[in-house]
Amino acid sequence: MTITDSNFDILDIGRLENPATPPDPNMTSEDILAAARDLVPLLREHAADTDANRRIPGVVYRAVQDAGLLHILKPKKFGGLELSEHDHAMVAMTLAQGCASTAWVFSILSSDNMAILAYPELVQEEIWGDDTYRTLAGNTNLNMKATAERVDGGYLLSGAWGFCSGSDFSEWLIFNAPVGEEKEGYMFLVPREEALTIDDWTPTGLRGTGSRTKAVENVFVPEHRAQLTKDTVFKLRDRRKLHPTFDAMYAPWPSHGRFTFASVAVGSALGAVRHFIETGASNTRVANALGGEVRLIDQDYVATEFADAAGDADAARLIVESRSRISAERSARHDTPTEHDLASEQRDNALAVRAALRSVNRIHALTGAKAGFPSHPVSRAKRDAEMTHAHVTLNWRQAAVRYLAAAVDAGEV
């Protein structure tokens, strides 16, 4: 484990010398999805290096910015497009077909725009006022080992938070720490230059997300950049009047309807399916221990297994497409979700990832020993889907228990 200074994660993305301008405010859902599709070849080109180097190349991140993707869930006041959770999910799933790490970083940074909107207008101006491309990374899980001492005008914050996805690029960080004798969780916003980076991100999958640990020691956080974690939902409701045309602010927080993580696993599986189809005519395996070779496309067992795998990936895709659209439509109506709605969305996030992982595991087995090499696209897809599957929000047993209880209460069972 290496501790470095804050310059560790400042990559050359050409923005300091050549600031980007906000995207065309008239971009539609179709436009933004087309822009994401156009990026897939670039992401595929750099995917192996992203995995090996454990970070997204600056050229890829800049391309994501220039395409306007980080403005999907951002209010018009700050150059945003005010699009929907459905648009977010579709873009994440599309990008993951080229590079799951890039899709994960996009998904985190796009979703965290909503966390910024829970803070007062002063904070929103502080972050986006002179640069609408600034993003927020960090970790919103309460770290009971961290400390936040009340001082005049704010807090002195100390602690270390792991899994800070996207922090290679983000100008701001969010941390959750206990305050007072009650140890209530507070969310603190800290400029990136006030944190140290601990280079401890060496997982098997999603290696390029840069989800390294960030640490601060006695960093002063002013009162306006700190608020009770449990108040986030209520604060988001209060801030709606600042952005009255932004329907996504009527979504719950955190929102499973955004399919922040599931979209990445599903995109990984779809990418593996695509690779197998594109290489199917030329793919061979050793016939047996004595040698020889057979074409995979000529084997009946390959056809049946691949059809199952592709079907699982398509089923997962349809879940994300349908459920994210339903969530977006509910937000557009400004309807409040029921517990059954929320439990169903949590279930479908976990269900889609289970199907995606099942799909990519089958394709990995069909591909054979070649898929054991880290640079192979199916190897990355398998490792990325496995890592996504392990995320706490996608725990199938927890989702299933919540869903059953909600379904019974709603009279659905």
Residue 47, pLDDT > 70, answer yes
Residue 213, pLDDT > 80, answer yes
The domain spans of the chain are 2-133, 136-228, 256-409
User: Looking at residues 16-22, what average pLDDT do you find?
Assistant: 62
Residue (of 83, 75, 88, 73) closest to 36 by Cα position: 88
Which H/E stretch holds residue 344?
A: helix 339-367
Place of tokens 């974690």: 229
Reported as a pLDDT band with limits 50, 70 and 90, residue 15 is low
Residue 293, pLDDT > 90, answer no
Identity of the amino acid at 27? M
Report residue 114 as tokens: 């909503």
Determine the 3-state secondary structure of 3 from DSSP.
Answer: strand
User: Looking at residues 269-276, what average pLDDT do you find?
Assistant: 97
Q: 1.20.210.10, 1.10.540.10, 1.20.58.220, 1.10.600.10: which CATH number matches 2-133?
A: 1.10.540.10
Say if residues 352 and 266 touch (Cβ distance below 8 Å). Answer: yes
CATH architecture for segment(s) 136-228: Beta Barrel (2.40)
pLDDT value at position 7? 43
Place of tokens 């939902």: 233
When comparing pLDDT for 284 and 336, which is higher? 336
Say if residues 247 and 84 touch (Cβ distance below 8 Å). Answer: yes
Average the pLDDT over each of 96-110, 226-240, 256-270, 283-297 and give the range with the smallest value: 283-297
Spelled out in words, what is the top-level CATH class assigned to the domain 256-409? mainly alpha
Reported as a pLDDT band with limits 50, 70 and 90, residue 297 is confident
Mean pLDDT of the chain: 93
Helix residue spans in 244-335 (DSSP H) = 262-279, 300-332
User: Looking at residues 306-328, what average pLDDT do you find?
Assistant: 98
Distances (CA, A) of 131 to 125, 171, 221, 245: 9, 10, 21, 21
* CA 300 to chain CA centroid, nearest Å: 37
Average the pLDDT over each of 5-14, 73-82, 132-141, 248-257 and give the range with the smallest value: 5-14
354-387: pLDDT as tens digits: 999 999 999 999 988 889 999 999 999 999 999 9
Reported as a pLDDT band with limits 50, 70 and 90, residue 411 is confident
pLDDT value at position 20? 64
Reported as a pLDDT band with limits 50, 70 and 90, residue 150 is very high
User: Looking at residues 31-48, what average pLDDT do you find?
Assistant: 98
* CA 388 to chain CA centroid, nearest Å: 10
Q: Cα dihedral sign for 401, 107, 202, 147?
A: negative
Axis-axis angle for helices 262-279, 100-116 (nearest 10): 160
Reported as a pLDDT band with limits 50, 70 and 90, residue 296 is confident
Average the pLDDT over each of 36-45, 99-108, 298-307 and give the range with the smallest value: 298-307
